[in-house]
């Protein structure tokens, strides 16, 4: 018999000793206890190994994410593919993508391999999975015969999947390329569009076809400035119930265009759906009479020729007659006006008297310096021919009309380029849509720096002579001029139907940028007290653009600009006359 092991009996209140790790094995035989001891040691060893590995991982993560974070430079990973994109990107001046190409698939068919009995079924099945493709189209292409016919270009991945499920062995998918415009309609007129073969048909796409086949093209345009101009112009076209409009922002020293908008516009991703009016680029292709804006050039011409001085006074007390035509001022002052006042109050009579004193020959020669008689030397295919009086017809009456912007038609891009020369010291730069496009190109001095300085002061006076000190636009020292011209219909001017224009530069103490706004046929509304001239619509639109783009372009608020004595006298005279 087995001898029972004697166990200790504990009474209530006795302290029970703690069990040691080996006590639990006392009931086991020696072999079993040995195996368990080895297992316990191995488990302990594995726990130590796991602990060390885990500690190493934690330590490495701490080093990478905390200790060495600021010392590391991050290089974005680029997915390398074998895609062969033929047409390169169009970028804005800061590298933002305006136009790019993406790889696609083109679907084609081998008509020879389609059995006669299957033609109807094949055409019907393809029409079901390909939106925009009809059964009749597919059937016609099959019946045309041959070994290759396109069914649809640039199919989508979903369409590709549905086609593959059909399992037709006579269908082929070949590599294609599709042009995409991420900004939609924002740059539509300048970028233009491409055809189904990705070849440029308009705008930058057509003009720079060879360059885009080799490398990316960086434009002078700024996507942020373009967005501000587009939004503001669209809002004010709607507000003033205009039929359309255009606006341009230019660097007055380089001739680089930072923004160019023409409305209505279109989405170049859907270019085939755009109508003719939406495709028309008013900024470069339109040729317009700009009305009183041309008084700037008329005044600069006479000053540059030395036939007038800023202090000179011209009689504008009553209408004047040349031949059978009578000229008068719109809401005239009916008093003698100093030269700056002729611009401030936009006097037709004063401007005519200046032109007649200078002579039509000087007027004609001076306007030619700004390229008003030739298409602009830009690569865009959408550029206009200007319209102007021929030499034999440029007589006294013609000179009078031209002095306040009638009888000569140029594009908005012509106009803003010329105004830039008026304020930048007198140098004309050819406008460009390419960043750095004028580097190395000649600039032409079209008027003296002295006259340019005088024009800056007078343009400043036009905007600021009666502005309140608290007006926020005063901080940017804006100078400019408005113009309102009757629209032509069937060769005749339509009274009350206007094209209104505002052109300005800022800051006039050190000009950097010019802004142009043109509105087509704005209506009389209650907010403008039933007026529809430029001062009520184009001018506030332009000043709104200036107030939004100036901070973005880094133009700070300007200190009060000291004016010459002739401007002080002209402003004082105008303010006193206003009080009467």
Average pLDDT, the chain: 90
The predicted pLDDT at position 394 comes to 85
What tokens does 273 get? 């759906």
Other CB atoms within 10 A of residue 180 CB: 12
What tokens does 209 get? 């076809």
Other CB atoms within 10 A of residue 349 CB: 25
CATH topology agreement for domains 90-218 and 226-579: no
- For residue range 417-442, list pLDDT tens digits in order: 999 999 999 999 999 999 998 887 88
Q: Is the pLDDT of residue 78 over 50?
A: no
DSSP state of 335: S
Q: Indicate left, alpha or beta for 145 from its phi (over 0: left) and psi (-120 to 50: alpha).
A: left
Q: Is the pLDDT of residue 37 over 90?
A: no
Domain range annotation of the chain: 90-218, 226-579
The predicted pLDDT at position 36 comes to 75
DSSP state of 482: E
The predicted pLDDT at position 72 comes to 54
**72-76, 211-215, 416-420, 566-570: range with lowest mean pLDDT:** 72-76
The predicted pLDDT at position 54 comes to 87
Q: Roughly how many angstroms between the first and final C-alpha of the chain, as a whole number?
A: 140
Helix (H/G/I), strand (E/B), else coil: 547: helix
Helix (H/G/I), strand (E/B), else coil: 182: coil
Other CB atoms within 10 A of residue 544 CB: 17
Q: Quote the CA–CA distance of 5 and 518 in Å, as a whole number.
A: 114
The predicted pLDDT at position 15 comes to 61
The pLDDT confidence band at residue 35, using thresholds 50, 70 and 90, is confident
Identify any residues that bridge with 23 across adjacent strands, giving them in sequence order: none
Could you tell me how far CA 214 lies from the centroid of its own chain?
A: 24
Question: Looking at per-residue confidence, does 62 or 217 come out higher?
Answer: 217
| Tokens 């996507």, located at residue | 223
CATH dotted code for 90-218: 3.90.1310.10
The percentage of the chain sitting over the pLDDT mark of 70, rounded to a whole number, equals 92
- For residue range 529-551, list pLDDT tens digits in order: 999 999 999 999 999 999 999 99
The predicted pLDDT at position 381 comes to 94
The pLDDT confidence band at residue 79, using thresholds 50, 70 and 90, is very low
The predicted pLDDT at position 260 comes to 98
**What average pLDDT does this structure show over 306-319?**
96
- For residue range 94-130, list pLDDT tens digits in order: 999 999 999 888 999 999 998 988 889 999 999 999 9
Measured in residues, the chain has a length of 580
The predicted pLDDT at position 249 comes to 98
Q: Quote the CA–CA distance of 352 and 363 in Å, as a whole number.
A: 11
Could you tell me how far CA 56 lies from the centroid of its own chain?
A: 54
Domain 226-579 annotated CATH 3.40.710.10: yes
Half-sphere exposure of 287 (CA within 13 A, CB side): 16
Among 430, 433, 382, residue whose Cα is nearest residue 93 = 433
The pLDDT confidence band at residue 46, using thresholds 50, 70 and 90, is confident
The percentage of the chain sitting over the pLDDT mark of 90, rounded to a whole number, equals 68
Distance set, CA 290 to CA 89, 343, 503 (Å): 36, 15, 10
- For residue range 131-181, list pLDDT tens digits in order: 989 989 999 999 998 899 999 988 888 988 998 999 899 899 888 889 999
pTM of the model: 0.83
Half-sphere exposure of 478 (CA within 13 A, CB side): 27
Q: Is the pLDDT of residue 351 over 70?
A: yes
Distance set, CA 87 to CA 205, 213, 370 (Å): 10, 5, 36
Identify which of 86-95, 169-178, 271-280 has the greatest average pLDDT: 86-95
What tokens does 242 get? 């205009």
Among 532, 142, 188, residue whose Cα is nearest residue 330 = 532
Q: Quote the CA–CA distance of 224 and 184 in Å, as a whole number.
A: 14
- For residue range 10-31, list pLDDT tens digits in order: 566 656 565 565 565 566 667 7
> Using an 8 Å Cβ cutoff, are 226 and 524 in contact?
no
Question: Looking at per-residue confidence, does 385 or 7 come out higher?
Answer: 385
């Amino acid at each position: 018999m087995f001898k029972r092991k004697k166990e200790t009996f504990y009474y209530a209140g006795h302290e029970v000793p703690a069990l040691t790790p080996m006590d639990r094995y006392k009931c086991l035989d020696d072999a079993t206890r040995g195996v368990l001891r080895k297992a316990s040691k191995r488990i302990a060893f594995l726990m130590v190994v796991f602990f060390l590995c885990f500690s190493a991982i934690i330590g490495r993560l701490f080093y990478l994410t905390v200790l060495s974070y600021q010392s590391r430079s991050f290089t974005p990973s680029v997915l390398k593919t074998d895609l062969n994109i033929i047409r390169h990107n169009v970028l804005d001046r800061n590298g933002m993508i305006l136009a790019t190409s993406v790889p696609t698939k083109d679907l084609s068919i081998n008509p020879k391999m389609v059995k006669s009995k299957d033609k109807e079924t094949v055409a019907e099945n393809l029409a079901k999975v390909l939106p925009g493709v009809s059964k009749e189209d597919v059937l016609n292409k099959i019946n045309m015969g041959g070994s290759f016919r396109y069914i649809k270009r640039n199919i989508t991945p979903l369409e590709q999947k549905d086609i593959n499920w059909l399992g037709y062995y006579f269908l082929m998918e070949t590599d294609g390329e599709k042009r995409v415009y991420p900004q939609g309609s924002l740059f539509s007129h300048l970028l233009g569009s491409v055809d189904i073969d990705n070849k440029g048909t308009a705008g930058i796409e057509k003009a720079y076809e060879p360059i885009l086949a080799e490398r990316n093209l960086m434009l002078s345009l700024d996507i942020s400035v373009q967005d501000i101009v587009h939004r503001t112009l669209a809002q004010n076209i709607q507000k003033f119930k205009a039929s359309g409009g255009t606006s341009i922002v230019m660097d007055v020293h380089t001739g680089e265009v930072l923004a160019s908008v023409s409305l209505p516009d279109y989405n170049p991703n859907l270019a085939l759906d755009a109508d003719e009016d939406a495709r028309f680029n008013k900024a470069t292709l339109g040729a317009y009479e700009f009305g009183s804006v041309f008084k700037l050039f008329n005044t600069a011409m006479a000053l540059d020729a030395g036939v007038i001085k800023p202090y000179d006074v011209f009689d504008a007390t009553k209408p004047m007659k040349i031949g059978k035509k009578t000229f008068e001022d719109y809401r005239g002052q009916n008093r003698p006006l100093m030269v700056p006042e002729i611009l401030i109050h936009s006097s037709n009579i004063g401007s005519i008297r200046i032109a007649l004193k200078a002579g039509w020959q000087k007027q004609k020669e001076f306007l030619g310096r700004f390229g008003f008689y030739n298409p602009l030397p830009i690569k865009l295919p959408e550029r206009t021919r200007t319209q102007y009086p021929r030499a034999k017809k440029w007589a006294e009456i013609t000179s009078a009309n031209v002095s306040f912007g009638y009888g000569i038609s140029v594009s908005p891009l012509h106009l803003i380029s010329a105004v830039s020369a008026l304020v930048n010291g007198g140098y004309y730069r050819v406008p460009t849509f390419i960043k750095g496009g004028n580097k190395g190109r000649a600039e032409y001095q079209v008027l003296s720096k002295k006259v340019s300085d005088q024009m800056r002061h007078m343009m400043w006076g036009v905007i600021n002579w009666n502005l309140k000190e608290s007006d926020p636009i005063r901080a940017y020292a804006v100078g400019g001029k408005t113009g309102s011209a009757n629209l032509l219909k069937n060769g005749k001017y339509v009274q009350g139907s206007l094209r209104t224009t505002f052109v300005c530069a800022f800051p006039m103490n050190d000009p950097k940028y010019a802004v142009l706004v043109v509105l087509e046929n704005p209506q009389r509304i209650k907010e403008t007290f039933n007026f529809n001239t430029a001062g009520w619509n184009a001018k506030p639109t332009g000043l709104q653009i200036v107030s939004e783009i100036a901070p973005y372009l880094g133009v700070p608020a300007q200190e009060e600009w000291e004016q010459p004595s002739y401007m002080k006298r002209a402003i004082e005279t105008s303010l006193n006359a206003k009080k009467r």
